[in-house]
């Protein structure tokens, strides 16, 4: 839901100019609540989520690539002349606190306005309006945004380094790049993943969601053939840690994720030669997920997607704010008229041409749909059986259980079956079709085929919100 839209010819030069109207409006609501239909609602700020430059701006602190730039801890960076950026060799450092921030105990971490008056330089501390709010100035500012940190940050850095080489990493040959690109072109992702992943020739132009799909589903399968054992093991650390942090289903594994992120950073430093801001911030991811919830709940993806839709509503540069408000009003009126058409779940769609009581698509919930095509038909039962859907009816799903021999895709740092990731190196064999109750389904599966290898990886957002499993 949009709470406010700000418009101007440029970004504001001072944080006070930008945030004061918001703070003056939200503070009374946080203190007194909001009454709607005689019901008092409590208003709190759960998190403040933005990219790294914006975080520094709204907090009034040094930028992410400054030697005192980490928002979470007091690590001190070093400027690398070779890389022409700041690196952070220190993984363990004292954590910053809300009290310490408000008392300005962190020296050069805090920014100042510098002005020249009467030939003299004057320095004025930047006092962000957020200081007036009853929020934690450290914990409420999220660094674990999967879009900017994990996808456009770490995953892009890894792929570019694998392709082009750096330090102790030999670059891929042209033939290897072409082979990987060919494999990526053949992979069919399920309908919940809206963008297919392009070949390595286009990796410079990949969108964040492409890097996200590669990290969460594709890379752990494809890279096994093209990385040496040590580099693949380190990528597996990142995959496992990210998977744990992506769903509440693995919440009990968060202590393991903390260890895996630290091991990934240490190995990255050895083989890639430097720990930049993005790599350093991985050490804080599991802690934020532990406090705030899975990565999807503290991500800028919803905002970026909504911002894209807002921008599409602007037809010209003349009165853009009025255009947006008019389109929003029209949309709200349309939604009110069509509010009676609320979809219920499970929802059966696409009746079979052979039998009108058999359906080729079943929508289990707003975020999970099974369909009788290769990319969307796979699911895992609560007994950990892989099933291919044939059709659905009013009772459940009819499908065939795969009986091909299955093995772990990787054994280290953890076995892949700990995350319900399975692989088969043979042709796919199945039992006869039988019925499965919807209550027997654990999650939908992403299938990744490369050569004679077929791998199955859970679609993480379709996993249950709770689990009693232990590693």
Q: Is the pLDDT of residue 19 over 70?
A: yes
| pLDDT > 90 in the chain, percent | 78
**pLDDT number for residue 339:** 58
**pLDDT number for residue 400:** 98
Compute the distance between CA of residue 364 and CA of residue 462 in angstroms, rounded to an integer. Answer: 10
Burial-class residue 456 by CB neighbours within 10 Å (0-12, 13-18, 19+). buried
Higher pLDDT, 309 or 219: 219
| Confidence at 440, pLDDT banded by 50, 70, 90 | very high
Report domain extents, the chain.
15-141, 146-298, 347-462
Give the closest residue to 111 by CA, choosing from 56, 58, 61.
61
Q: What is the mean pLDDT of the chain?
A: 93
> Does residue 444 contact residue 464 with C-beta atoms inside 8 Å?
no
Q: Is the pLDDT of residue 336 over 80?
A: no
Compute the distance between CA of residue 409 and CA of residue 204 in angstroms, rounded to an integer. Answer: 28
The structure tokens listed for 137 are 């100035």
| Confidence at 160, pLDDT banded by 50, 70, 90 | very high
For the segment 61-85, what is each residue's pLDDT rounded down to a tens digit? Answer: 999 999 999 999 999 999 988 878 8
The structure tokens listed for 57 are 């701006």
The structure tokens listed for 439 are 């209550």
Give the closest residue to 129 by CA, choosing from 4, 43, 19.
19
| Confidence at 169, pLDDT banded by 50, 70, 90 | confident
Q: Is the pLDDT of residue 340 over 60?
A: no
Q: Is the pLDDT of residue 341 over 70?
A: no
**pLDDT number for residue 214:** 98
**pLDDT number for residue 121:** 86
Give the closest residue to 179 by CA, choosing from 457, 407, 450, 462.
450
Q: At what angle do helices 285-292 and 254-272 cross, to 10 degrees?
A: 160
The structure tokens listed for 453 are 């290898």
| Paired residues of 386 in beta bridges | 380
């Amino acid at each position: 839901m949009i709470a406010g839209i700000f418009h101007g010819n440029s970004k504001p030069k001072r944080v006070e100019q930008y945030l004061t109207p918001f703070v003056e409006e939200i503070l009374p609501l946080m203190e007194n609540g909001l009454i709607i239909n005689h019901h008092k609602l409590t208003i709190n700020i759960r998190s403040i989520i933005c990219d790294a430059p914006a975080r520094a701006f709204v907090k009034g602190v040094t930028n992410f690539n400054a030697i005192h730039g980490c928002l979470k801890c007091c690590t001190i960076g070093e400027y690398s002349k070779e890389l022409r950026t700041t690196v952070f060799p220190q993984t363990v450092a004292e954590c910053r606190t809300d009290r310490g921030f408000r008392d300005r105990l962190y020296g050069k971490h805090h920014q100042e306005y510098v002005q020249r008056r009467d030939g003299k330089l004057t320095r004025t501390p930047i006092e962000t309006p957020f200081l007036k709010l009853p929020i934690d100035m450290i914990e409420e500012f999220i660094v674990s945004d999967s879009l900017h940190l994990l996808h456009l940050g770490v995953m892009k850095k890894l792929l570019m380094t694998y392709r082009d080489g750096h330090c102790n990493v030999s670059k891929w040959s042209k033939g290897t790049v072409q082979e990987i690109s060919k494999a990526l072109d053949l992979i069919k992702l399920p309908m919940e993943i809206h963008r297919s992943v392009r070949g390595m020739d286009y990796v410079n132009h990949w969108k964040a969601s492409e890097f996200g799909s590669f990290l969460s589903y594709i890379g752990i399968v494809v890279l096994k053939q093209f990385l040496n054992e040590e580099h693949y093991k380190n990528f597996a650390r990142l995959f496992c840690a990210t998977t744990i942090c992506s769903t509440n289903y693995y919440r009990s594994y968060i202590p393991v994720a903390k260890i895996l992120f630290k091991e990934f950073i240490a190995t990255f430093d050895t083989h890639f030669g430097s720990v930049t801001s993005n790599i350093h911030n991985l050490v804080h991811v599991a802690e934020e997920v532990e406090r705030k919830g899975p990565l999807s709940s503290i991500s800028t993806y919803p905002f970026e997607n909504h911002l894209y839709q807002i921008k599409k509503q602007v037809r010209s540069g003349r009165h853009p704010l009025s255009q947006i408000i008019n389109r929003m009003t029209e949309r709200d009126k349309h939604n009110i008229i069509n509010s009676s058409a609320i979809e219920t779940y499970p929802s059966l769609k696409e009746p079979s041409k052979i039998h009108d009581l058999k359906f080729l698509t079943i929508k289990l919930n707003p975020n999970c749909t099974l369909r009788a095509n290769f990319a969307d038909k796979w699911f895992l039962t609560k007994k950990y059986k892989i099933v291919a859907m044939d059709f659905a009816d009013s009772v459940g799903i009819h499908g065939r259980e795969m009986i091909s021999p299955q093995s772990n895709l990787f054994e280290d740092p953890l076995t892949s079956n700990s995350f319900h990731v399975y692989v088969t190196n043979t042709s796919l064999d199945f039992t006869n079709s039988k019925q499965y109750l919807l209550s027997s389904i654990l999650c939908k599966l992403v299938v990744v085929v490369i050569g004679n290898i077929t791998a199955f990886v859970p679609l993480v957002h379709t996993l249950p919100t709770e689990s009693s499993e232990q590693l």
